[in-house]
Each structure stands twice: as C-alpha cells, then as structure tokens.
Chain A
Amino acid sequence: MSISPLSSRRFRVIFVVCWLVLMADHAMVLHWLTLPWKEAIIDSLISNGILFLFCLLILNTLRYYLPQKEQVVNLFAWCIFFTLIWLLLARWLLKLSLGYYENYSGMLHHSVPIRFSIAFLLLGCVTMISVLWQTWAEQKEDESRKTDAEKLAKEAELFKLRQQMQPHFLFNSLNSINALIGSRPAEARKMVQQLSDFLRGTLKKEETQWVILREELQYLQLYLEIEKVRFGNRLTTNIETNETAQQMKIPALLLQPVVENAIKFGLYDTTGETVIRISANMENNELVITVCNPFDPETSTPKQGTGFGLKSVQRRLYLLFGRNDLLVTETKDNIFMTRIKIPQQG
C-alpha cells in the first residue's frame, strides 16, 4: 500500500476547487439551455456530487492496486464501467428529484451522451493523475532505498578498512621487528618482508573476489608466521589439507576473520602453549574448513549460537549462498571449533 495523492494538502485544495468550477459550469450550461436556475443547480449538485464520490473511490482503490504497464487497457475498461454505473445512478436520482419539471425528462434523455463523455473524461483524468502520482512516489522510495543501501555499503567499507589496518597487530609487529634488529637482524629483515606481503595482500583483495584455497592458506600462513615471531614457541599451527581441497574456490578474506578470532581467543587471551588447527576437506561437493583453537573458559565464555563474534562471516555466507547453516561453532573441553562449509559450483 502506498500513500494516495489526497494526502497532499495542495492536491486536496486543487481537487476541490476544480470541482466547484465544474459544478458552477454545469449549472450555467443547463440554465443557458433554458432550465431554471433552481433545477439547474440541483441537477449539477446530484450529477457532480456522485461523480465526486466515484473519483474518491478510484483514488482510494489505486492506493492498493497499481496496474502494470500492460494493464492500461484494464484501466480504460474500468473507467468505462465506472462511468456507466455513474450514469445509471445519476439518471435515476435526477428523474426521481426533478421528474416534476415538465420538459426535464426529454432533456435528460438527449443529454445522456454528453454527460457520459464528460464523466468519462473526468474519471479518466483522475485515474491518470493517481497512477502517475503512485509511480512517482514508488520511484522516490526506490531511490531513497538505493541511497540507504549505498550508505550502508560505504560504512561497511570504511569499517573494513579500519579493521584491515589492525593497529594493534601492526604496532606490536613493528615493536617485535625493532627488538629483532639489535639481536637478530636477519630475522628482522624476514619479518619486515612477511609483514609487507601480508599487508599488501589485505589491501589488494576485494571481498567480491573468489580465490583458490591454496592462495588463501598461503596468505594466512604469513599472518601466522608473524604471530609466531611475536609469541615465540607459544604458538604452533597445524594445517591439514589435500590437493583436491587446495584447488577449491572460496570467497576472498572469508577465512581471515575466523583465524584472527582463533588467535585472539586462543593466543592473546591464554597463557602457555597454544595449538591452532586448520583443516580443509571436500565433503559432498562442499569444501569444509575447520578451525580449532583452545580458549580460557575463565575469561571468555563462548555464547550459544555463533559466539566469539563470527557474525559478519555468517552474514557474508548468507548473502553469498542464501543459507544460514554454513557456519557452525562448537565447544568441547576448552577447544573452540568453527566449521565453515563452502558449496562448490559444478
């Protein structure tokens, strides 16, 4: 349902003024055709009063039903139908109220085609105005929706950019490099290289891109290697996959937030040694990727459902595949597991 043109005050005023002019004109024409003033005015009031009601009816109906382009013929037929009904009703009422006047019947009979034509034109006009108004309103709404969507996309993009910078990760890595320069310059140089490659990878990729798993894993490996330098032997990673799975396609940057989450809860928030496991396999034409990390139940309680802030990954999977069951999480004995299924085409 949309708003009717009647909701605009200006339209209402114009509508009523037009009608008053029409009524006056109608009465004057009848008077000129020898009908006395009183009868002419009564005729005008009855005919145009009913027509007015019919116009309101059309305006209101079109709020709920906006015809498609191909259905213009329907509208035309509709107008004829309404005009006929109006004519019958008006004629009956006019005969009833003005039948006492001697020459009236004959005159009414002769004027039927004219009355019909004028009423048809008027109803047609009102219908057309209403349809135009609705189309215009719909277009306006479409546009505002589009602007909203664009705004949202921009905000998301900005957020992504900020996320990509990961200031905490970046500055801590630089600090590690700073420490290595004095004692182990060769390692410092290697870490600069890894950090640069990692950052370049984040900047280069578009979220709309699809990449093969091998590429994505190589890229994540960079990230994990940097974390290994920062945290020394506290971090061990275990990546299990096979040749088939490595050739499968996945949306770019989809795995990164999952692995970052694993690092955040498994490494940043625990003491002692941490093993992060990543495995990828094909199951029934779906690429299944599992990421496991330990967590500290004392400081972080994974909430039911997605937990651990994986909402955005789930949302992306939903937008891509229209399915809500592609990301599942599980906790078991202080191990948090994220499982992602990526359907493969063909």
Chain B
Amino acid sequence: MSKVVIIDDEMLARSIVKEYLQKHPQLELAQECNDGFEGIKAIQQYQPDLIFLDIQMPKINGFEMLELIEQPPAIIFTTAFDEYAIKAFEAHAIDYLLKPFDQDRFDKAVAKWVEQKNTHTEKATQELLETASHSPGQNQRIVVKNGSKIKIIPVQDIFYLEAADDYVKIHTKEGYFLKNKTMNHFEEVLDKLQFVRGHRSYIVNVQQITRIDPYEKDNHVAVLRSGAKVPVSRGGYGKLKAVLGL
C-alpha cells in the first residue's frame, strides 16, 4: 500500500482525483488538503509516497509549499494553465496533469510514477523548484518557515540578505528569517534594480539605503533606514553606484 495526499483548493478538483484513484486500490488516500499549509502538515504527519499538487492556491502556491518541505515526496502536479510551470515540468521530466484530464491520462501518470518510484531522486524536485523560482511572479515574495509557523515576506519588506553557511539570513523589520538557499540564487531571482549584491556575503535593498559611508581603506558601508550597516566591497560599490545612477 502507498499513501497519497491530494492538495488542491477546489473541492471538485479533489473529488475527480479521488474518483480516478478508485481504480488503483494499491493507493490509499491519507488526506485531502485545501491549501499549502494543510498540505505541509499532512505531509509531515503521513509521510505520503505520492502527492497530487495544484500550483495555484491561496496564500502559498504549490512551489512555495514544496520549498518548505525538507524531503518532498514524489509529486504529480495538477494544474489548469501555467506556461512557466509546464516549461519547468518538461525540463525536469516530472509528470503533470493538465485540467481537465481523463482516467486514461491519470492512469498513465500513476504508471509512470510506479515505474520511476525507485529511481525517483529528490534532485529532480530541487532542480524543478530552482527553475520555477525564476518564473515571473515568483520573485515578489519569499516564503520561509519560522519554527512551526510559515511567514510570507514581500520582497519590498526585505532590508538586506546575509550569507550564513548553508542558509541565507533575510533581514526585515521583524528580525531575520533563515532560508535554505544560496546567495547566488537570490542574486539571480530578485529584481536587479532593487537588490544589489554589494558584497560577497550581502545583498542590499537599495530602497532602504539612506547613505553610503567610506569604511577603512577601499571599502564602504551602506547605512539603511533602520540604522543597520551593510558592508560594501570595492566591486560592490561600483555596482551600487550604477544602480543608484551616481
């Protein structure tokens, strides 16, 4: 027996998956979830083997939900229309069902999962998330886990980002949050006219800068509205000046 979780915000969309699942007695439905938050809880609780996941959902979308799960299970995406998501799925050979879909197509997706079950790597999911995070609309907010709570940070609320080992510290007015990503990732994803990597270990939100002071020889420091001081290297100073039009 394999455990399955369905995550979709539309009741009828879940019910069609449930209906199609009846033909697969080896798949046992552990829970249906209304949104990403319930999804995270259910995945932690049941450790399912397979999830059916919608992309467009309230508060946090399917991709953002996956980012918050440490070891995501195998996924079959279900979506109505999302050019970028579909491109990402195709690039990483992960199966997806385009709504509306019929029993045949559903069976094929399940068969594909059975076939690849043992070779399924988490790497593919990670790569998928990396690709998906580059799509437009994905760079407006960052979703982080703060203990057991989930926090959604709109990018304009970010003061600056700081490298911290395998994590990145996201500094905001409510303190900092940790996200399991690299500085290079954020440098790529965030709007380059608003977020400048002024230092190997720092990315600063230029809208928060009140002034840039010299600091020791060759270096500078950006003083933010909050009073925080963010180091700026020599190369970074050039980049900042270019963005600020100095």
A binds B: yes
Per-residue CB contact flags for chain B residues 127-171 toward chain A (1 = under 8 Å, else 0) read 000000000000001000000000010100000000000000000
- CB A343 to nearest CB in B, in angstroms, measures 37
Q: A residues within 8 A CB of B82?
A: 168
Q: How many residues of A contact B (CB 8 A)?
A: 25
- CB B208 to nearest CB in A, in angstroms, measures 17
B12-A167 in contact (CB<8A): no
* Cα A346 to Cα B141 with chains together (Å): 49
Q: Which candidate, A17-25, A122-130, A227-235, A275-283, is the interface stretch facing chain B?
A: A227-235
The residue that A175 contacts in the complex, of B12, B19, B154, with Cβ under 8 A, is: B12
B13-A296 in contact (CB<8A): no
B16 at the interface (CB under 8 A from A): yes
* Cα A296 to Cα B11 with chains together (Å): 21
Main secondary structure of the interface of B (DSSP, over half): loop
B16-A175 in contact (CB<8A): yes
Within 8 A of B (CB), among A267-319: 268-271, 296, 298-299, 301
Q: How many residues of B contact A (CB 8 A)?
A: 26
B193 at the interface (CB under 8 A from A): no
Q: A174-B100, A271-B58, A301-B154 are in contact. Are A168 and B80 (CB under 8 A)?
A: yes
The residue that B11 contacts in the complex, of A232, A270, A299, with Cβ under 8 A, is: A232
* Cα A230 to Cα B37 with chains together (Å): 20
B12-A296 in contact (CB<8A): no
Q: A residues within 8 A CB of B154?
A: 301
B13-A175 in contact (CB<8A): yes
- CB B11 to nearest CB in A, in angstroms, measures 5
B114 at the interface (CB under 8 A from A): no
- CB B39 to nearest CB in A, in angstroms, measures 12
* Cα A168 to Cα B102 with chains together (Å): 18
The residue that A171 contacts in the complex, of B15, B34, B99, with Cβ under 8 A, is: B99
The residue that B35 contacts in the complex, of A180, A231, A271, A298, with Cβ under 8 A, is: A271
Q: B residues within 8 A CB of A174?
A: 99-100
Interface residues of B (CB under 8 A from A): 9-13, 15-16, 19, 34-35, 37, 56, 58-60, 80-82, 98-102, 141, 152, 154
13 contacts between A and B (CB under 8 A): A168-B80, A175-B10, A175-B16, A176-B10, A179-B16, A180-B12, A182-B16, A183-B19, A230-B12, A231-B11, A271-B34, A271-B35, A298-B59
